[in-house]
Amino acid sequence: MENLYHNDSLPNGLRHLQLRTTDEYEKYRVPVDTVPRPGFNTTGKEIELSLNAYPILKFPNKTVHQYDVNIGNGKESPALIKKVWNSQARKNVLRQIIFDGSKLAWSLNNYQDGLNVLVDLDGENNRPVGKVPNVFRLVVRRTKAVNISVLTSWLQGQAPFGEPVLEAMNFLDHLLREYPSSKFHSIKRSFFDEHGDNFDLGNGVLAFKGVYQAIRPTIPRRLVINIDVSNTCFWARISLVGAAIALFDARDAQHLIHLLRPVKDGFGGTTESDGFYECHRRLKKLIVQAHYGGCPVLGKNFQVKGLINGSARQYLIDVKDPATGKINKMSVEEYFHKKYDVYLRYWELPMVEMTKKGVVYPMEVLTLHGLQKYPFKLTEYQTAAMIKYAANRPAERLDSITKSKKMLDHANDPVLKSFGLQVDNNMLRTKARLLPSPDIQFGGNQRINAGTSGRWDLRGKKFFQPNKRPLDCWGIGYFTGKRGSINQAQVTNFTDAFVKAYRNHGGDVPRYPLLLELKEDIGQAIKRLYSTVGHKFQKDPQLLLIIVPDKNSFTYLRIKKSCDCRWGVPSQVLQAGHASKAQPQYLSNVLMKVNAKLGGTTARAVPKVTEATLRPQTMIIGADVTHPSLGVWAPSMAAISVCMDQYGCRYWGACEANGERVELINRSNIEIMLTPLIREWMSTVGGGRAPDHVYYFRDGVSTGQFAQVLEREVLDMRAIFMELTGQQWKGKFTVVIANKRHHIRAFPKPNDRNAADRNGNPLPGTLISRDVTSPFDWDFLLYSHIALQGTSRPVHYHVILDQIKHKPQELENMIYDHCYQYMRSTTSVSLFPAVYYAHLIANRARHHEDIPASSGPRSAPQVKITNPKPEKRPIDPRLLPIYGTSNRLPFQMWFI
């Protein structure tokens, strides 16, 4: 069978691009400055909302003295730093002073001479002096005066945003944290009560509800405190044996002993088992206490250094005979029996070594102490339970926020009182806008308007654009022989229903597919299906549907890797349980994806505000970088999406590995991914010309990285446009950062049908531009979806470059309208589609890692935490290219 089409400019040929030098990029630099708000949106109607923000009524206008703090040699643990700082030796000299827990302290008092003292922690706690002195030097030195009144000048526009403003904001941030940190367990800006609201997720993990608070400068030129619920997972307060059993989901302690027992090493000896290594890594750094009859250090905290490959019966210690003074060797098991009359039930478990030199304990006498954050990926069951626990309806969330405010009790906070900071007890209320929803256009010029419901269905509707080429060479493969598999009669019934449904939606399907039963290995099965379909119809297969018996992520990975990178054919994986029923709604949902992969478009949004219509010669680029789960080595994935039509409905996608947890997309990746997509856009959309207007929507970057996005990513993109136009490009960029990782929530009045849905969440189209937004930059919060559960969260959009010079309604309404044309949904979505697609692309591209499929997934949830980073594997490995055939898969929506 012959490839009827092959594009030499596909990514495979771009692996060896000669990249430009740094100096060549300097001439394309864009200005890095804030984008002032161009006014306020007046479209739609005004609504009123409460926001989980509380105005600061008064803050210190006195001079605050800042101090540098140094404890020991500078490498001490946070726990030790806290002990030294809280010592009486410090308190006797330095009073009314707050400390950031690391290097800085502040006080209204001017301690000109500072402090230089040795702190004896044993003496502080009336403990006998050990062999090693527990003494640390504490040095506190005054460095500068922080003028808090500069905040007032800045908020009034009379002072620039510079280091003095940052220093003042940093001080207020720590001022707010000081007293709650002494009462509750703190994680950054969140506080958790050890006896507060919690839920058992199973396997030794508890979910806790805590309080989040952060200070924000806002319109109209004031400071507010954002208070919200914070949900975090902690280790359950159980025995260390119980924690280890939970980690492995072991049946009991005997099963755990079996998992941790040494194994033969192949050379006549033994070595640590995989279970031992995994347990060692997971339990390391936990804080534990020893509990047994007669324990001389009851209540003392120790930090776990790791497991020792030896049981309590094998591990020998030196014991002095009180009668003779002779030193004898004795097992830990025997020592506990003779010294404390404690019989160890699980002596076969490994011993546990502490970070304190010479301290070891049997595992069964140790218990976890206090709140300790659980740092590992949750299981599917735990994740589902966590989502259910955290997903509170708006009324419940509002009640929790009110309780959180009472828990913080700002009015009676002695630290805030001493510094003169006052916080309003009432939530902010704001005037928001409810933007008009766009019409949704289908085939045959049929239009509907979802109003404020944010949802619609496909019954009786044709796709806005059906498949571009008649679907006359395709196949359906179905795996049999396993529980839950589909049979031939069910496949035939599904095929009839699928073809009928696609034709009803306007699809061009002149031929039925080839049906093939699959039994062999996945790679071989896809090869046989592809070859059989191609041989029967004498052309490159246009589509493969594969019906699998269950939801197995590894099976999905192998199918997609084979279809994308080996055969270059669009594919759709279906679960037998759904396919066998062939229900109309399920078929329509599948067909939205299939139609998109075959060049079609589900629907387009027609703006009600004409100014929100895309200008001619406009390109939209979305980008996202996703990182692997904590503890699993895999490269970060940088993904880019580029719209391929005049409406911004259809998108191409490309992805590359982006180093190890690197957020900014590196230059070579931008060139490799974007160059062929811009070329394709110029030839198919732009009529041979580059775009005049480029929107760049970026997800996942923090405020501190905004300038780097402009200085690096946008600079690199501009260089590509100049290169492809012979240095003649004069187009303009608008760059928008989309952020969902924030704590702002809005609450309409109860039963306000003009502003709330039936669950009490803000309606789709709710735009917030005041009271919690920046007093100087152009940012806004937008609700563009209906939340299926819990309290909905708006997306915070921040415009960091606007060379096009938009009016508010031009950009803000355009973003909202486009949330109605996400290709595979019959609801408006919460995030601008270009960014949504970039996230999809990054996740799908993990299937393209250049590793044998038989070795298993490297970054999926099933991977063990003990997977080490391969020594010889490059930090930034290239992904396998998507194969180019007559389907031109790299230039289709292969990722949808």
Kindly give, in sequence order, each residue whose CB lies less than 8 Å from that of residue 581, ignoring residues fewer than 6 positions away.
none
Query: Where does the pLDDT of residue 323 fall: very low under 50, low under 70, confident under 90, or very high at 90 and above?
Result: confident
Of 820, 848, 876, the residue that ends a domain is: 848
Q: Which residues contact 800 (CB under 8 A, 6 or more apart)?
A: 34, 35, 706, 709, 710, 735, 736, 737, 777
Does residue 532 sit in the same domain as residue 614?
Answer: no
CB 814 within 8 A of CB 607: yes
Strand partners, 475: 514, 544
Residue 136 parent element (H or E): strand 135-147
Domain annotation covers residue 132: no
Q: Is the pLDDT of residue 631 over 70?
A: no
- Between CA 500 and CA 506 the distance in angstroms is 10
Beta-carbon contacts of 894 under 8 Å, excluding residues fewer than 6 positions away, are 564, 570, 597, 653, 844, 882
Residues 353 and 485 in one domain: no
| Alpha-carbon distances of 895 from 93, 631, 654, rounded to whole Å | 64, 27, 9
**256 lies in some domain:** yes
What is the structure's pLDDT at 887? 86
Separation CA 422–CA 243 (nearest Å): 44
Where a domain ends, among 578, 597, 616? 597
Task: Return the closest-CA partner of residue 233 out of 251, 207, 199, 262.
Answer: 207
Which tops the pLDDT comparison, 820 or 753? Answer: 820
> What's the number of domains the chain is made of?
3
> Do 364 and 266 fall into the same domain?
yes
| Of residues 406, 763, 468, the one with CA closest to residue 594 | 468
pLDDT tens readout for residues 800-848: 999 999 999 999 999 999 999 999 999 999 999 999 999 999 988 888 8
- Does residue 110 sit within a domain? no
- Give the max Cα distance, the chain: 102
pLDDT at residue 128 greater than cutoff 90: no
What confidence tens digit (pLDDT) does each residue in 693-740 have? Answer: 999 999 979 988 999 999 999 999 999 999 999 988 999 999 999 999
Burial 115-150 (b: 16+ CB within 10 A, else e): bebebbbebeeeeeeeeeebebebebebeeebbbeb
Predicted confidence band of residue 342 (pLDDT cuts 50, 70, 90): very high
Specify the range with the lowest mean pLDDT, choosing from 153-167, 327-341, 824-838: 153-167
pLDDT band at 280 (very low <50, low <70, confident <90, very high): very high
Integer Cα distance of 458 and 180 in angstroms: 52
pLDDT of 767: 98
Given a cut of 90, whether residue 659 has pLDDT beyond it is: no
CATH code for the domain in which residue 352 is found: 2.170.260.10
One domain, residues 655 and 681: yes
Answer whether 0.75 is exceeded by the pTM.
Answer: yes
H/E segment holding residue 571: strand 571-575
Average pLDDT, the chain: 90
Q: What is the mean pLDDT of the segment spanning 227-240?
A: 95
Residue 661 resides in a domain: yes
- The torsion defined by the Cα of 247, 248, 251 and 253, in degrees rounded to 10, comes to -70
552 pLDDT band (50/70/90 cuts)?
confident
Residues 651 and 572 in one domain: no
- 264 DSSP 8-state letter: E
Residue 223 lies in a domain: no
Phi, psi of 519 (to 5 degrees): -130, -25
Does residue 252 lie within any of the structural domains? yes
Name residues whose C-beta falls within 8 Å of residue 17's C-beta, 6 or more positions apart in sequence. 668, 671, 672, 675
672 lies in the same domain as 808: yes
The 10s digit of each residue's pLDDT in 349-359 is: 999 999 988 89
Same domain, 537 and 635: no
Q: Tens digit of pLDDT for each residue in 73-117?
A: 888 888 889 999 999 999 999 999 999 999 999 999 999 999 999
Q: Which tokens sit at 856?
A: 């298993």
The band of 855, judged by pLDDT with boundaries at 50, 70 and 90, is low
What pLDDT sits at residue 30?
54
pLDDT, tens digit (0-9, with 9 covering 90-100), for 194-211:
999 999 999 899 999 999
622 and 582, same domain (yes or no):
no
CATH of the domain at 642: 3.30.420.10
Tell me: pLDDT of 13 over 80.
no
Nearest-angstrom CA–CA distance, 476 and 533:
9
Query: Are 616 and 572 in a shared domain?
Result: no
Out of 562, 582, 597, pick the residue that ends a domain: 597
Q: What is the pLDDT of residue 754?
A: 92
Phi-psi region at 168: left, alpha or beta (left = phi > 0; alpha = psi -120 to 50)? alpha
Position 866 pLDDT exceeds 50 = no
Domain CATH number, residue 469 = 3.40.50.2300
Q: Is the pLDDT of residue 22 over 50?
A: no
144 belongs to a structural domain: no
Encoded tokens for 61: 């206008």
- Is the residue at 891 inside a domain? no
Residue 5: predicted pLDDT? 30
**What are the backbone angles phi and psi of residue 258, rounded to the nearest 5°?**
-65, -40
Which range of residues forms the domain containing residue 470? 439-597
In this structure, the answer to whether residues 317 and 344 fall within a common structural domain is yes
Query: End-to-end CA distance of the chain, in Å?
Result: 28
Both 251 and 329 in one domain: the answer is yes
533 in the same domain as 657: no
